[in-house]
Structure 1
Amino acid sequence: MQEAKQQFSELIRAVRADGPQFVTKHGEEVAVVLDIAEYRRLLGEDQMSFKDFLLTGPDLSMLEIERSDVPARQVDFE
């Protein structure tokens, strides 16, 4: 059990230092161990939602925007 723990610790160190590590069984790649940040990036979890993106925009309440009281003109599309 102690040897397995040591090898697992070395695997985690290699992931952090060298990137993704492939796990093989009988010479065939069966799994890959990724850094958590890379895993989340691949899932898209590190991207902000559209709502959060809009909320990070500038504060527009400071702008002095005036709107005309004149009704819009009528347009005949015939």
Structure 2
Amino acid sequence: MTKKTKASPPSSPALGSWQLQDAKARFSELVRRVRSEGPQRVSVHGRDEVVVVSVEEFNRLKGERTGAALIDALQASPYRDVEIEPKRASMPVRGIDL
């Protein structure tokens, strides 16, 4: 005869770290923790694979796509005053009959 034991509820993951199967099963809790505690790591087979972050944090990290960084880099260049004039090569023109 086998002895039946009462299954204990799954334990709460360590602060900011989830195994994939726990993250899938308790996704709502994962989202709540992202909002209240910050980024949460999700591991697969013991290796950190992804980090879940809030949309505000994602937008902050991604930055705005204004082109400002490119403009700043070009303006800081020591070659800023170099004139770039494309060479124009004369192309042979083929005559046509109309």
* Structure (1 or 2) with the larger CA radius of gyration: 2
TM-score (norm 1): 0.50
Tell me what 2:41 maps to: 22
Tell me what 1:67 maps to: none
Equivalent residue in structure 1 for 2:60, among 5, 29, 41: 41
CA distance in 1, matches of 2:45, 2:24: 21
Tell me the amino acid that sits aligned with residue 56 of structure 2: A
Tell me the amino acid that sits aligned with residue 19 of structure 1: G
1:42-61 equivalences under 5 Å are: 42-45=61-64
Unaligned runs of 5+ in 2: 1-22, 69-98
Unaligned runs of 5+ in 1: 51-78
Q: How many residues align?
A: 47
What root-mean-square deviation, in Å, do the aligned CA atoms of Structure 1 and Structure 2 show? 2.7
In proportion to residue count, which structure has more helix?
Answer: 1
- For residue 48 of structure 1, report the CA deviation from its aligned partner: 7.3
TM-score (norm 2): 0.40
Q: SS in structure 2 opposite 1:10?
A: helix
